[in-house]
A = this chain, B = another copy of it.
Amino acid sequence: MNIFWNELVKQTDPYVPGEQPSTTDCIKLNTNENPYPPSPEVTKAIFQELNGSLRLYPSPSAQPLRETIADYYGVNANEVFIGNGSDEVLAFAFMTFFERGKPILFPDITYSFYPVYTRLFRLEAKPIPLNEDFSIPVEQFFHSEGGVIFPNPNAPTGKFVPLEAIEEIVQHNPDQVVIVDEAYVDFGGSSAIKLIEKYEQLLVIQTMSKSRSLAGLRIGYAVGNRHLIEGLNRVKNSFNSYTVDRLAIAGAQASFQDEQYFQRTRTKIIRTRERVRKELKQLGFEVVDSLANFLFITHPKAQAKRLYEQLKTNGIYVRYFDKPRINNFLRVTIGTDEEMDTFLDKIKEFV
């Protein structure tokens, strides 16, 4: 607390990202990073851009990347917004579409940044309790006063809501923006991007940090009706003209151009996830039906917090959330097959 902070800052309760251990001598299954490096085309493209013009500002809207992503999804460039990671895109979306005094709906168990944004921008939220099995009570998201946001698959559960349910939610919020945060959609879900031409109030947000192995490069994007995108641009241009640097733009473009690599690595992760799921079940774990690059697990006879600590002592980092309803669960990112074998070996010792 400090006399120079304004009232808002005194009250903030910032998001706490998963630990970034300083040692590389560990197995890092705590921040949903991809265990495989990005496509070799990405490094090539960045290397080329390095010989270009770092001394010059990048395109304020990251226009070349907008066009690449638009082509990839078969939409127009003015239906794509690029940001410095999907967290920045989310922050701008909260600033653009949500209004004070009109509660936003999001699940009670969800990405923990949403309540942080709500406080930071002095908004109000009405958390909707998930069903007992962590599925989304679809009707509860109808007729929102201030808009809707949820991750699909949800975090940290990994549960996926089928597009039909999303369409129902969107249809029952004709005058409110519905944001689907698809950070993990490439690991088995189906993207709502295909619905944006049909619903002008639907905004889909994705990131290149997970399925495209570019957490270190900071790129996220939103796809939606051009008026929604224009709103995001107005806010971004009132905040920071250039949020995505030249190397990130070049690297991100190359990632979209290497479809084969993308398909190969994401399929590999899905396969590893299904194998680990089976083995964990054999060990007596309950494993939530995840379509993400992580599993959300609990054991009837083992304390999650203790497991988390035991694993950490053994150089294996997983994520534990000390929050109501989920404080006996662990979120485990899917690593390489080798990493998961070590994880499974250790966990066998502890349960």
Contacts and interface: CB of A to CB of B under 8 A. Distances in A.
Interface string A191-231: 00000000011000000010001111110000000011011
A216 B13 CA distance: 32
**Identical chains in the assembly:** 2
Given A97-B5, A239-B120, A17 B215 contact: no
A116 interface: yes
A182 interface: no
Contacts of A120: 95, 235, 238-239
A314 to B, nearest CB: 20
A241 B38 contact: no
A144 to B, nearest CB: 13
A54 B38 contact: yes
Contacts of A12: 234-235, 238
Which of A88, A216, A246 counts the most B-chain CB atoms under 10 A from its CB? A216
Given A17-B57, A57-B216, A91 B240 contact: yes
A217 B54 contact: yes
A242 to B, nearest CB: 6
Contacts of A8: 95
Interface in A82-126: 84-85, 87-88, 91, 95-99, 116-117, 119-120
A183 interface: no
B17 A37 contact: no
Given A55-B213, A119-B238, A247-B247, 7 more contacts: A5-B234, A15-B241, A28-B56, A38-B54, A56-B215, A217-B245, A247-B248
